[in-house]
Amino acid sequence: MTRPAWEAIGILHRRAIAFGLLLLVSLPATAQGVHPVSGRRIAGVMGVAGANWLVRPERVAEENPEKAIRMLELKPGMTVADIGAGVGYYSLKLAAAVGTSGKVYATDIQPGMIERLRATLAREGVRNVEAILSTATTTGLPDASMDLMILVDVYHEFAEPQKMIAELRRSLKPGGRLVLFEFRKEDPGVPIREEHKMSVAEAKAELEADGMVLEKVLEDLPWQHMMFFRQR
């Protein structure tokens, strides 16, 4: 077999392992409910055992995070939050975009994720990111302080989404935006478990019932919707 063929098999093998890992670590520890507005099944939270999946090399091709950051149109000095930040894959990119005059709050409900994030921040000397251990219904963020909040493949895992949206609204500045990144449920070609995907219709129905307004949807990323919401 030729070397290119072996390399192709290796790439497919690594992708299969990564996808298999997502299937395993995302299983909920307890039974999950459904959203009362849309009837969407709420997904289980990815555990710390799957943290390496968050920094897989394939993520660049699958999600194009550098393009996603540009699409957010961040400015130096902004205050932003990475909700459900995990090990900080996006937090570090946000930190670079808002610069030393800006600040990033990175929240997660799992101590193991926060520990890894803090270790990364210390190792790389990043000073404008604050890691916060949050809960299923609280963020620990200041009131009316955020220019922008991003939830990258996170909202669909909120165990109590209505309470969390109220909590996020509390921390948004007037005119602040809430941006959901969600794998496209409308696209069967996106190889992610169904409960870890969302449609635009589901997101719009759920968040607008909780006082948000869908301003725009960008479909420029390979697998994800970017849905921009503001407070009503």
Output phi, psi for 175, to 5 deg: 85, -5
- Mark the ranges of the chain whose per-residue pLDDT is less than 50: 1-31
pLDDT (0 to 100) of residue 46: 87
pLDDT (0 to 100) of residue 19: 46
- Summarised one tens digit per residue, pLDDT across range 197-232 is 999 999 999 999 999 999 999 999 999 999 999 999
Instruction: List the domain range (segments joined by +) for residue 51.
Output: 3-231
How many domains does the chain fold into? 1
Q: How far is CA 221 from CA 7, 32, 65, 112, in A?
A: 26, 29, 8, 29
pLDDT (0 to 100) of residue 36: 96
